[in-house]
Amino acid sequence: MNMELTMKIEGMMCPHCEAAVKKALEAIPTVESAAASHEKGEAVVKLSAETPFDTLKKAVEELDYKVIG
């Protein structure tokens, strides 16, 4: 089961922000990979299993970024 999800995120300003979001998302066991872009204001997440959106959202928002969709 491979799923891809795009999260809209506010507050990422630089490559360091992208790296922090990527690391936080990839720490979730069901996340195969994550690619964050501060220029697009989003992160594309590849999942190996169904994962509650709130789990992904919480990982990002703990870094003080805002998930808007």
Closest residue by Cα to residue 6 from 50, 38, 36, 51: 36
Domain with 47 in it: 3-67
pLDDT at residue 2 in the model? 79
pLDDT at residue 41 in the model? 97
Whichever domain contains 57, its CATH number is 3.30.70.100
Give the orientation angle of helix 53-61 with respect to helix 15-26, to 10 degrees: 140
pLDDT at residue 1 in the model? 65
| Number of structural domains in the chain | 1
pLDDT at residue 57 in the model? 97
Q: Can you list the residues of the chain whose pLDDT is less than 50? A: none
The distance from CA 53 to its chain's CA centroid, rounded to whole angstroms, is 10
